[in-house]
């Protein structure tokens, strides 16, 4: 019955949360640095690390106070140690080690990608693998076959992934091209809701080719469509470009997810990562799962974006079975998803 403090600093959110038994959220504090990075149109690693340093103590204290607990009552402290920005990860890992030593409690090192998938079990306490997971974030686009290992931890087999840009990266790049704010995903999502998804038809890359994805060609197609119509003196409305881009991206993501579940005999589909907050992806996944007779789960929007609840949830089973990290555990900026063997 572990009570776990989770800490997350892999990118541009400084977050801490207290979670009981992997599902009961006692507190969740997320300090977003979006305003720091917005003027640069993307995350500046050095600024991210510095902003984490400035915020981490307050965020951790706030999480403990909001949970009405102290470090003495905790069973473990869990921290994201990769993948992510090295300097940013270091801040969270150092803070977690400080708590572990100070309170005399064990440390659990968490993989950020696995944590995203675990967010599905927080909101839906009926959910447990096996399932096909679509993980779509700023740095990753992956289809994973998730199962439960003999020791109760989750295992992830890699079914497919992007061969170039991640889905979130494509959203951010297209948003920048359209002159929208950072991060671009929510901006495109909102603008697309006012546009016609069929007015600008864009390619569905690799739609019928296995389980891998490609998004860099889609971004180029957006640029070419806009330039062509500008040159012809008939500029495309940005809302239609956003809607057309989003429809093309979501069609491929949903198609391949449903196909993977069917072909691998899984009855449940989950989504995870920042792009899983996308309104069209959520709606289309639900309707296509319904049509295919599949069950689906998706985290609430705040749990799709980077947060520390998912980190504590991911550490629950490892803490129960005593799979702790040594106090000299380092950051792993390129950490792969555990056991992600290609199948």
Give the footprint of ligand KG4 on this chain (CB under 6 A).
11, 137-139, 168, 171-172, 183-186, 189, 273-275, 277-278, 305-306
Least distance (Å) from ligand KG4 to the CB of residue 10? 7
Q: Are strands 268-272 and 131-136 parallel, antiparallel or unpaired?
A: parallel
- State which residue, 145 or 306, has the beta carbon closest to Zn ion: 306
With 0-12 / 13-18 / 19 or more C-beta atoms within 10 angstroms meaning exposed / middle / buried, residue 216 is middle
Task: Assign 48 to helix, strand or coil.
Answer: helix
- State which residue, 3 or 270, has the beta carbon closest to Zn ion: 270
Please choose, out of 60-68, 129-137, 155-163, 187-195, the segment that lies near Zn ion by the rule CB under 5 A: 129-137
Least distance (Å) from ligand KG4 to the CB of residue 171? 4
Q: Which of 306, 314, 331, 332 binds Zn ion (CB under 5 A)?
A: 306
Task: Assign 56 to helix, strand or coil.
Answer: helix
307 makes contact, choosing from ligand KG4, Zn ion, none, with CB < 5 to 8 Å by partner type, with none
168 makes contact, choosing from Zn ion, ligand KG4, none, with CB < 5 to 8 Å by partner type, with ligand KG4
- State which residue, 137 or 257, has the beta carbon closest to Zn ion: 137
Least distance (Å) from ligand KG4 to the CB of residue 306? 4
Instruction: Compute φ and ψ for 270, nearest 5 degrees.
Output: -130, 160
Least distance (Å) from ligand KG4 to the CB of residue 298? 12
172 makes contact, choosing from Zn ion, ligand KG4, none, with CB < 5 to 8 Å by partner type, with ligand KG4
Q: Which of 9, 137, 141, 284 binds Zn ion (CB under 5 A)?
A: 137
The closest alpha carbon to 225, from 238, 216, 215, belongs to 238
Least distance (Å) from ligand KG4 to the CB of residue 188? 6
Please choose, out of 90-98, 130-138, 164-172, 311-319, the segment that lies near Zn ion by the rule CB under 5 A: 130-138
Residue 120 binds Zn ion (CB under 5 A): no
155 makes contact, choosing from ligand KG4, Zn ion, none, with CB < 5 to 8 Å by partner type, with none
Residue 118 contacts by C-beta under 8 Å, 6 or more apart in sequence?
22, 154, 310, 313, 314
Task: Assign 1 to helix, strand or coil.
Answer: coil
238 makes contact, choosing from Zn ion, ligand KG4, none, with CB < 5 to 8 Å by partner type, with none
Question: CA–CA separation, 130 vs 181, rounded Å?
Answer: 38
Least distance (Å) from Zn ion to the CB of residue 110? 12
For tokens 């069609």, what's the residue?
251
Q: How far is CA 240 from CA 91, 165, 193, 340, 342, in A?
A: 41, 22, 9, 38, 37
- State which residue, 22 or 186, has the beta carbon closest to ligand KG4: 186
End-to-end CA distance of the chain: 35
With 0-12 / 13-18 / 19 or more C-beta atoms within 10 angstroms meaning exposed / middle / buried, residue 68 is exposed
Please choose, out of 90-98, 289-297, 303-311, 315-323, the segment that lies near Zn ion by the rule CB under 5 A: 303-311
Is residue 169 within 8 A of residue 183, CB to CB? The reply is no
- Return the number of other C-beta atoms located less than 10 Å from residue 232's C-beta: 8
Least distance (Å) from Zn ion to the CB of residue 70? 29
Least distance (Å) from ligand KG4 to the CB of residue 22? 20
- State which residue, 64 or 136, has the beta carbon closest to ligand KG4: 136
The closest alpha carbon to 16, from 56, 71, 70, 73, belongs to 56
Contact set with Zn ion (CB under 5 A): 137, 306
């Amino acid at each position: 019955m572990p009570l776990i403090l989770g800490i997350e600093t892999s990118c541009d959110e400084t977050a801490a949360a207290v979670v009981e038994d992997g599902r009961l959220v006692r507190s969740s504090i997320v300090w977003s640095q979006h305003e720091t990075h917005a003027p640069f149109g993307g995350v500046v690693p050095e600024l991210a690390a510095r902003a984490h340093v400035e915020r981490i103590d307050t965020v951790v204290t706030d999480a403990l106070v909001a949970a009405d607990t102290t470090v003495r009552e905790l069973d473990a402290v869990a921290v994201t140690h990769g993948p992510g920005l090295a300097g940013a990860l270091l801040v969270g890992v150092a803070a977690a080690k400080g708590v572990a030593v100070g309170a005399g409690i064990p440390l659990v090192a968490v993989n950020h990608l696995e944590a995203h998938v675990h967010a599905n079990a927080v909101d839906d306490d009926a959910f447990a693998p096996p399932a096909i997971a679509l993980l779509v974030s700023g740095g990753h686009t992956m289809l994973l076959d998730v199962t439960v290992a003999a020791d109760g931890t989750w295992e992830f087999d890699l079914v497919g992934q992007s061969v170039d840009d991640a889905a979130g990266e494509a959203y951010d790049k297209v948003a920048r091209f359209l002159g929208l704010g950072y991060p671009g995903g929510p901006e495109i999502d909102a603008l697309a809701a006012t546009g016609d998804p069929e007015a600008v038809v864009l390619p569905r890359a690799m739609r019928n080719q296995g389980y891998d994805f490609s998004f860099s060609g889609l971004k180029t197609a957006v640029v070419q469509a806009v330039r062509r119509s500008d040159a012809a003196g008939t500029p495309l409305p940005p809302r239609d470009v956003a809607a057309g881009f989003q429809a093309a991206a979501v069609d491929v993501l949903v198609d391949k997810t449903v196909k993977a579940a069917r072909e691998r005999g899984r009855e449940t589909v989950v989504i995870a990562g920042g792009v899983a907050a996308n309104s069209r992806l959520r709606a289309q996944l639900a309707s296509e799962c319904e049509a295919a007779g599949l069950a689906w789960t998706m985290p609430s929007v705040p749990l799709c974006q980077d947060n520390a609840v998912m980190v504590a949830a991911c550490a629950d089973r490892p803490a129960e079975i005593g799979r702790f990290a040594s106090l000299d555990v380092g950051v792993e900026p390129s950490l792969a998803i555990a056991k992600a063997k290609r199948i």
